[in-house]
Structure 1
Amino acid sequence: MQNETKKSGIELGVYTFGDLGQDPQTGKTIDIHQRLQEVLATAKLADEAGLDIFGVGEHHRLDYAVSSPAVVLAAVAQNTKRIKLSSATTVLSTIDPVRLFEDFATLDLLSNGRAEIIAGRGAFVESFPLFGYDLSDYDELFEENILLLQQLNTNEIVNWQGSFRSSLHNAMIAPRPAQKKLPIWIGVGGTPESAIRAGRLGTGLALAILGGDPIRFKPLVDLYRQAGAEAGHSNEDLKVAVTGHTFIAKTSQQAKDEFYPYYANYWGYVNKQRGMGTKISRSDFEYMASPETGLFVGSPQQIIEKILHQHELFGHQRFIAQMDIGGLPFSKVAEGIEMLATEVAPVVRRETAK
């Protein structure tokens, strides 16, 4: 399946955090049971529409529906046939790598070889006190855990010693995935050190480009590929993914008019969760959604142009859209997925396959 998608240009997909935002138009907040059902329905729709990847994020808060991506993706696996299934992202600093690998190896077996892991340090930090980790060890925990995860991915029997968990002595790591190895990506929000680490370790690089001029991320991609080459990894193994907020409508004006209340609402509650009171005005949003920025809001043609422009900058292999934010109704998410799959994807695949 990976060879087929490679031949047909870059992969396209969708991801979700399962946030439980209030709909600013109705004042209603979806309950968690319905939100999880909509996550499953989104994955099924994306699979049937022919998209390549579906991702689920991890949060440990009452205003998000997903704390265990592997469990949700196992349910998704039973309702889908071909779409790849990934965390987006796993907070690797606060999860035991052995448990993580075994969960995703099991998912890989249940899905006939479709599981992947995007690992990150975490933009939200609730999981540190929740699972008994010190936030001051933020980076050291991630470094140790990603190195262990790579060993688990390579070897059935592991001997290992680190600073933050018990040692492993001839430990059997079971089950083994259906794939030879689970694809592992490192999620990067903007720090050069993280990009260099991904290159050094030979993992994929998943860039979160949520706005601004995307050219500012090009140095990160260059650092990633340079570090990868210096570490002896082939260019073919150094894969880049771009992720971003996305809303598609028939026209640019319709897209901006419909999405603005939800986008402003999304950043309203995300900034509040982070202790900030920042709000997005309509004029700010107009600039954020302009053609030269990394916010994917517009007509199918504008989304195509933004993806292809970024492909010229990064030469990336994958684009993953986050479409269900801010309390957006599922009907609008479904419309967006349909347009992404039927109007955007064919052109992007054709142009990037040249």
Structure 2
Amino acid sequence: MQFGVFTVADQTPDVHTGKTPDDVERMRSLVTIAQHVEAAGLDVFAIGEHHETGFVTSSPTTVLGYIAGRTSRLRLSTSIAHITTNDPVKLAEDYATLQLLSDDRVDVMFGRGNSMAGYSAFGKDPRASVQLTVENYQLLRRLWDEDGPVDWQGQFRNPLHQFTATPRPVDGVAPFVWHGSIRTPEVAEIAAYFGDGYFANNIFWPKEHYIRLIDLYRERWEHHGHGPGSTAVVGLGGHVFMRKNSQDAVREFRPYFDVAPVYGGGPSLEEFARQTPLTVGTPEQVVEKTLTFQEFFGDYQRQLFLVDHAGLPLKTVLEQIDMLGEHVVPALRKEMEARRPAGVPSDPPSHASRVAARARQSQPA
């Protein structure tokens, strides 16, 4: 099973100092965090795409390409890239380029995006976000998967005539795709139809909300002939803050929670932790709560943790990663694999397995 860290790359003032990291400081911190994730023995580092002030990752392929050159083993991903406002031709070429530069250590998570700023900046109508998602992803798959030039006529972009996206994906097989969603059943359907992974953000809502979406994805995975629903490729998010003593964790994290862009001004820390997967406490408490995800959602293949949100100092973030690597992830690996039934994959599909599957599909009947 894959474990890692994802970030929204926010530039939130430190609640104690009032200092907001500038672009250079925040970008450098992301590189340091990624390197620390690898050094701690985790598997994945993922960054989100944003196009408004207060965030630094408007160009995720650039950031991930740089991090690829500073790491050797770490799997790199988005969390998410916008399938709605980015042009499918540019997505096809940028992520194939990143796949080549990273020695195939990249996958990509696509999503609609939850900020109106991105839609406005790129001249897209947020009311058409689902239709944009469907059309853009269909074109992207053709640009990646078809060996010859592509002809295309759609609703939201100019037609293509005999166009080939370059460079081509490694071995003719594109990066593995996850579809990230917090509320849209159509996204679960797209992921199931194409046999892609489905990633439930899992930091905002009670578990019942995500159970419905994941169950739908598993049902549609089986319907589309990819195998039993238990074999569908699922990823989950989570948000943690840890100290050796749970009272210390709550006391230290509360001021940051209260001003966090995605939390501040809402329920109290205690109420939010009761209603959602947020875990503030000891590493043992994080292990205990994360194991309930397997009970609620079924066996899954990727777990990513948010650890750097809301203006936390870099030193504190690196301490969180150390605790994940030393205490949390080893315990989760052992226990989750012991619980996993035979025949249920422990990891997402590898590049080699997908190359082999493509070769089998191309053989004459």
User: Residue by residue, what CA displacement relative to the aligned partner does 1:27-80 show, whole Å, maximum 9, x if unpaired?
Assistant: 111111000000000001101111111101011112111101000000100111
Q: Which string of whole-angstrom CA distances, capped at 9 and with x for unpartnered residues, describes residues 192-226 of structure 1?
A: 33223322232211101114532432121111011
Instruction: Name which of 154, 158, 161 aligns with 1:166.
Output: 158
Structure 1: gaps of 5 or more residues: 1-9, 272-277
* RMSD, matched Cα: 1.8
Work out which of the residue numbers 211, 225, 243 in structure 1 matches 2:237.
243
Look up the match of 1:336: 320
The answer on whether the counterparts of 1:156 and 1:174 sit within 8 Å (CA) in structure 2 is no
1:212, 1:295 within 8 Å by CA — same for their partners in 2? no
Structure 1 counterpart of 2:169, one-letter code = P
The residue type equivalent to 2:200 in the other structure is L
**Structure 1 consecutive aligned stretches of length 4 or more whose deviation exceeds 4 Å:** none
Q: From 246, 249, 255, give the equivalent of 1:255.
A: 249
**AA partner of residue 171 (structure 1):** F
Deviation at 1:237, TM superposition (A): 6.5
Q: 1:178 aligns with which of 164, 170, 174?
A: 170
Say which of 255, 274, 278 aligns to 1:295: 278
The CA distance in 2 between the partners of 1:349 and 1:83, in whole Å, is 17
The one-letter code of the counterpart of 2:188 is A
Residue 316 (str. 1) matches residue 300 (str. 2) = yes
In the alignment of these two chains, the number of paired residues is 334
Q: Which residue of 2 aligns with 1:54?
A: 45
Give the % identical residues: 37
Structure 2 residue matching 1:165: 3-state secondary structure = coil
**CA distance, structure 1, for counterparts of residue 291 and residue 196 of structure 2:** 23
Instruction: Specify the code of the residue in structure 1 equivalent to 2:186.
Output: E
CA apart distance, 1:147 = 1.3
Alignment of 1:90 with 2:95, yes or no, is no
Task: Choose 180-189 or 161-170, whichever is displaced more.
Answer: 161-170
What is the alpha-carbon distance in structure 2 between the residues aligned to residue 169 and residue 80 of structure 1?
A: 39
Whether contact under 8 Å (1:153, 1:182) holds in the other structure is: no
After TM superposition, give the deviation of residue 308 of structure 1 in Å: 1.1
Amino acid corresponding to residue 351 of structure 1 in structure 2: E
Q: Could you say what secondary structure the match of 1:54 adopts? A: strand
Q: What TM-score results when the alignment is normalised by the length of structure 1?
A: 0.89
TM-score by length of 2: 0.87
Aligned pairs for 1:39-188 within 5 A: 39-157=30-148, 158-178=150-170, 180-188=173-181
* 1: CA distance, partners of 2:140 / 2:16: 44
Q: Distance in 2 between matches of 1:199 and 1:297?
A: 33
Number of the residue aligned with 1:210: 203
The alpha carbon displacement at 1:288 in A equals 1.9
